Structure 1
Amino acid sequence: MGRQLIVAAALLASLSASSAWAQEASARCDEGGFVERAQDSGAEAYRVAVPGRSHFRQDGEGCPAAAACQLKSYLVEKDPVLVSQVENGWACAWYSGTPRDTVGWLRAADLARIPAPPTTQADWLGRWSFGEDTTVTITRDARGGLQVEGDTVNTGRPSPPTGHFAGALLVDGPSGRFSDFDAEAAAQYKAQFPDAPPPPHCAVRFRRVDRYLVVNDGDADSPWGCGGIGASFLGVYRR
């Protein structure tokens, strides 16, 4: 029981921890940068509130303001997006679309925020999907806690790498975390191999925002993620 309490406390404490990679991501508006900011600082739901086309803008020199930064991808009035940052009149936005998602800068003046109620435990439950090959399923266990299971496969590679994790999900408001780190096993490994790096483990961070679940399995605690090279759970999921 004591060990379980220690592990739970450590996991909850790590919900607010940030990595050096997150600091580097603060200036980017790509998938990785968006997810890191959403995990560390939160994100909000918006919708396009102007007629016509609202084009995405890319990162780069002079971007997003320069005309050359404009992408072909665009949204129209009432399209929903998640926003993780607003800076100098531009919003870093993630649009969950079909067949693919789009991440980039949008004019903040084109968007209107959608108020969201506080996150409850029931808001976590369900089968969440990112693309066609990555899912996260969250259920209640017999004691009222949450259990999470994730599966992914990268079908874009000749030998498709896969990823999987399963176990208890610890939540604190809109944030959640899973980890299969075993402190006792890690201490034994360190005692046996004092000069070796610690053995890899799987750690996943979650963030609930409006209709979305933001997921990241690659950070300072778990640099290889939960599927190794080529298979990742990073993304914005929908039920």
Structure 2
Amino acid sequence: MLCPYDTLAAAVAAAVLDLSATPFRWSQAFRAMTSRSRHPTIAQRIATAPAAIVANPTPASGSPAMRRAHPTHRTVRRSRRAVLLAVLASAAGVSDGWAEENECRRAPTLSAGPILSLGRVSAPGRTAFVKDGLARAGCPDPGPVCRERAYLVTGDAVILGERRGAFLCATYRSGKDDEVGRTGWIPAEAVALESAASVALEGWLGAWKQAEAQIRVTRGDKAGTLAVAGDATWGAGDPERVRRGGIHTGEMSGTFVPVGDAASFAVGEAGTLPVQKGAETDCKIWLRRLGPWLVVDDNLACGGLNVTFRGVYRRTL
């Protein structure tokens, strides 16, 4: 579960930007403070929300017609908008502090943090995930109070990230179902590291998919290059949001030369360029072939609010 401030800020940001959902009710936002979220990447977009709100203050085309507001009502709405922005800024600041509480629940990142590695569960029987410090103070810990119901079994392949004491932050993804997956702490003694195999150009090719995002990698026009194109959404799994057209979308495409099992690029006004030369507002993409998966990271600038390509993709073709 996201920390209450993350969830509150996400609810406020979505309500402000998605004007088709008016009127916004504060009670909904505060109820969200204690609700569970299935979208951990929402909180990562909080810092970009104020700029997006200023840049897009009008309803999207196709939004339901609204009555002309009384001047006093418009003033109140402007004041409310300022208050909402202040809440967003405050929540984003508080969120940074919560992220230090032994957190392990987000998709693996490539642009920052520890280098990812491949592992396989070697312990016999079931290996339960362990709660992080956001779920319960003092976790991860070997005690039963920190043990989760979700578990892995012998032979399961995992992507390994940060290590905290006797625990590793591990990500598991099903090879058949995009909705089946989990990131969390597991005992380091329960997993064996596997050396990364070399990846040829052919190892990148194909169609790759995760929930609400898909990427296709093909050969580029020049020898040794690869072309990638993808699209992503946020909210497509919510029937009500689909009904009223409240889905946020994003897309990206570029050409790159992989270096072993890794690659990166930015998409600027002039086309594809090295990621380090991209502007802060350019869409930046990092990729890594790791085991059976394609791991993707971005800078949260490749689409609308909450839209991200970040995640672990399985090959479908």
TM-score of the two chains, using structure 2 as the length reference: 0.56
1:166 to 229, 237, 253: 253
Question: Equivalents in 2 of 1:93, 1:130: separation in Å?
Answer: 17
Counterpart of 1:120 in structure 2 is: 200
Q: How does 1:178-197 map to 2 (within 5 A)?
A: 178-182=265-269
AA partner of residue 184 (structure 2)? G
Counterpart of 2:283 in structure 1 is: 202
1:56 to 111, 129, 142: 129
1:82 aligns with 2:82: no
Q: CA deviation at 1:183?
A: 7.0
1:232 aligns with 2:305: no
1:93 aligns with 2:173: no
Contact 1:94 1:102 in 2 (8 A): yes
Question: Equivalents in 2 of 1:179, 1:128: separation in Å?
Answer: 20
Q: Which has the higher contact order (CA 8 A, sep 6+)?
A: 1
Q: CA deviation at 1:174?
A: 2.3
Show CA shifts across 1:117-169 (max 9, x none): 223322221111112x3111111123121100011122135111111111212
Q: Secondary structure at the match of 2:304?
A: coil
Given the superposition, is the C-alpha separation of residues 121 and 25 from structure 1 closer, same or farther in structure 2, using an over 3 Å criterion?
A: farther
Percent pairwise identity: 30
Given the superposition, is the C-alpha separation of residues 26 and 167 from structure 1 closer, same or farther in structure 2, using an over 3 Å criterion?
A: farther
2:217 to 118, 122, 138: 138
More divergent stretch after superposition (152-161 vs 73-82): 152-161
1:35 to 109, 129, 146: 109
Q: CA deviation at 1:58?
A: 2.2
Show CA shifts across 1:210-230 (max 9, x none): 211111122xxxxx4211212
AA partner of residue 215 (structure 1)? V
Question: Equivalents in 2 of 1:205, 1:25: separation in Å?
Answer: 24
Counterpart of 1:194 in structure 2 is: none
AA partner of residue 178 (structure 1)? F
Question: Equivalents in 1 of 2:128, 2:181: separation in Å?
Answer: 14
1:211 aligns with 2:289: no
**Regions of 4+ moved over 4 Å:** 24-27
Aligned positions, number: 196
Counterpart of 1:103 in structure 2 is: 183
Given the superposition, is the C-alpha separation of residues 58 and 225 from structure 1 closer, same or farther in structure 2, using an over 3 Å criterion?
A: farther
Q: CA deviation at 1:113?
A: 2.0
Counterpart of 2:118 in structure 1 is: 45
Given the superposition, is the C-alpha separation of residues 90 and 199 from structure 1 closer, same or farther in structure 2, using an over 3 Å criterion?
A: closer
Q: CA deviation at 1:27?
A: 5.2
AA partner of residue 167 (structure 2)? W
1:68 aligns with 2:145: yes
Question: Equivalents in 2 of 1:70, 1:227: separation in Å?
Answer: 37
TM-score of the two chains, using structure 1 as the length reference: 0.73
Contact 2:171 2:184 in 1 (8 A): yes
Contact 2:101 2:132 in 1 (8 A): no
5+ residue gaps in structure 1?
Answer: 1-20, 185-197, 219-223
Show CA shifts across 1:167-203 (max 9, x none): 212422222113112479xxxxxxxxxxxxx783211
**Structure with greater strand percent:** 1
5+ residue gaps in structure 2?
Answer: 1-95, 272-278
**Structure with greater helix percent:** 2
